Chain A
C-alpha cells in the first residue's frame, strides 16, 4: 500500500533536530509524571467526592471535578499512567511483530518474503481501529494493549519490509561472495534496524496510543476502576457540553502524549494517517 511518491517532505534539518529533542524531552517529562503520578495526584485513582460534583477549575482542583466529584488532575495523572503503560506494551508488540518481523521477512527467500508481505497487505487494508476491536472481541478487554500492538503491526511490517533494499550494494556483494542471508540479516539488524529503533519506537508509540485510546473510548479498552484517558473522555461525554473541563484535561494529556511521540519520531510524514 506504499505510495508511488514515497519521499516525505521533511522540515529543515535544524528544525527537525530541535523538534525531535522537544519530542523526546516531552516524553521524558511524561515518563516522570507517570512515575510520580501517585505522589503528584491529590487523590487515589477513582476516589469519588474529592470535591463537589462538576466543580469548575479552581486552586483546590486545578482541572476541576467530574460527575462523581473526582479530582480531574489526579484522575488525569492516573489515566495517563494507565495509557502510557498499556501503550508501551502495545508498542513492543508492534515493533516485534511489525518492524522486526518485516525486516526479517525481507531477507527470507523471496517467495516466502513476498507471501508474508501479501498476507500483511490484507491486514493492512483493514482499518487498524477495526482490527484492534476485532482482536479484543476475539480475546478480552484485558488484552487491549496487545490488540492495539497487533493492529498497528501490519503497517509497521509493510513499511519495514519495503525499507529493506534487497538490491543494495552490500546485498549484491553478499550474494556474489556467498555470504549467507542470515549474516546479511544480522548485519541489517545490527546497523540499520538499531539506527532507526528510536524513530520506529516513537512512531509506533503514537500509532498505538491513538488506537488504544480510541478502542477505550468505544468501550473495548481499559476496564474500570483502571481508567485510561480514552475511557475518561468517553465518561465525560455526558457532561462535557456544560462542563468542558471534564473532557478537556484527559483530551489535552492525550494530545500532548501523541504529539510528543510524533515529534520524537522526527516529523516523518510518510506515516500513513
Chain B
C-alpha cells in the first residue's frame, strides 16, 4: 500500500507540476514582450516565478487580481459540482448496480448508448423545456432572471432556478457514475474467486457483500477522476446555458475576451481538482480492492 501511495503521490506531483507549466504558458501570452521564442520562454519563466509567489496576475476584464476574481466565482461552480455529484450518485448508482450484471446488462447496453449520445447542452435545453411546460418553473436560459440565485436558498423561486443546472450537471455525472459501476460490476461478476468461495460454502449474498461490493465500490472510486471531468465539463455548459456566474462561465468569457491570466488560473484549478480527486479515488480504490480481494 505504501509503495502504491508513494507512486500515486509522485504521479500527482508531476501532474500538478505539468498543470502549473501549462497555466504559465497560457498566462505568458498576456505578458508584453518582444516577438520570438526566447522572449516567450523568458515570459513563461517569469510567470512560473510569479506563480510560486502565488501571484496569478490581474484579470483583464475586471481589473481585479485573478485570485480574487476566482475567489468570487469558484464557490458557485463548486456548489454546482458538489450538488451535481449528489444527484449523480443518487441517479447513477442504482442504474449502475441494476444494469451492472446479468441479462439486464446486455439489454441495457444499447439503451445506455442512446442516452449517452445526447450532448449535455441538448439535455439541458430539454430539461428547461420540460420545466417550463410541465412544471411551470422559471428558467434563466434567455435572460439572467435572478440567475445569480444561490443554490442553497430557502426561496422556492431561487431553488427552482438553481435546480435545473444542478440536475443537468448531476445527470452528466450520473452517466459517468453508472458507467464506472457497470464496468466494475461486470469485472467483479467475471471474478474467478466466486466459484472457489461457493465451494467453500459461502452463500451468494455473503460473496456479494463481503467480496464483490468492495471491488465494485473500488471501481467507482478508481473512476473518480473521470467522473470529475464529466461534472466539470457539464458545469461549463450549465453555467453558460443558465446564466450562472461561476468560474466555468468565467473561463468561457475569459477566453472569448482574451483574458489569459484568468483563463490560465481557472484551467489550473480545474486540472488540479481532477488530479487530486483522481489521486484520492485511486488510493481509496486500492485500499478497498485489497481489502475485498479473497486471499
Contact = CB atoms under 8 A, between A and B. Distances in A.
Contact of A214 (B120, B219, B278): B120
Contacts of B246: none
A121 B18 contact: yes
Nearest to B112: A269
Given A9-B105, A119-B18, A134-B26, A4 B289 contact: yes
Contact of B226 (A8, A259, A267, A272): A272
B222 A262 contact: no
Interface in B117-135: 117-122, 125-126, 128-129, 132-133
Contacts, number: 182
Given A4-B285, A267-B110, A9 B185 contact: yes
A248 to B, nearest CB: 9
B124 to A, nearest CB: 10
A11 to B, nearest CB: 4
Nearest to B268: A126
Contacts of B270: 126-127, 130
A251 B172 CA distance: 17
B237 A129 contact: yes
Name the prevailing secondary structure of the B interface residues. Answer: helix
A247 B275 CA distance: 37
B106 interface: yes
A206 B175 CA distance: 16
A237 B256 CA distance: 20
A1 B109 contact: no
B175 A273 contact: yes
B15 A122 contact: yes
A8 B186 contact: yes
A194 to B, nearest CB: 25
Contacts of B79: none
Given A127-B236, A270-B183, A273-B172, A255 B122 contact: yes
B255 A133 contact: yes
Nearest to B133: A241
Contact of A1 (B116, B182, B186, B278): B278
A94 interface: no
Interface stretch (B36-44, B58-66, B69-77, B227-235): B227-235
B289 A241 contact: no
B85 interface: no
B203 to A, nearest CB: 24
A239 to B, nearest CB: 9
Nearest to B190: A7
A268 to B, nearest CB: 10
A209 to B, nearest CB: 8
B142 A237 contact: yes
Nearest to B222: A4
A254 interface: yes
Contacts of A134: 26, 255, 263, 267
Contact of A7 (B105, B183, B274): B183
A125 B14 contact: no
B177 to A, nearest CB: 9
A175 B118 CA distance: 46
A251 B133 CA distance: 19
B254 to A, nearest CB: 8
B229 A273 contact: yes
B256 A219 contact: yes
Contacts of B14: 118
Interface string A215-254: 0011110000000001001000110110010010001001
A206 B117 CA distance: 8
A233 B236 contact: no
A255 B186 contact: no
A60 interface: no
A128 B19 CA distance: 14
Interface string B152-187: 000000000000000000001001100110111111
21 contacts: A4-B218, A4-B219, A4-B282, A11-B106, A15-B106, A118-B14, A125-B274, A126-B22, A126-B267, A127-B233, A129-B233, A129-B236, A130-B232, A138-B29, A214-B121, A218-B252, A233-B125, A241-B132, A241-B139, A262-B113, A272-B229
Interface of A: 1, 3-12, 15, 19, 118-119, 121-123, 125-130, 133-134, 136-138, 206, 210, 213-214, 217-220, 230, 233, 237-238, 240-241, 244, 247, 251, 254-255, 258-259, 262-263, 267, 269-270, 272-273
Closest 6 CB pairs of A and B: A122-B18, A9-B186, A137-B255, A4-B222, A11-B109, A259-B117
Given A3-B226, A133-B252, A230-B121, 18 more contacts: A1-B226, A3-B219, A5-B222, A118-B14, A121-B15, A122-B18, A123-B22, A127-B274, A128-B233, A130-B236, A213-B119, A214-B119, A241-B133, A241-B139, A251-B126, A255-B122, A263-B110, A270-B183
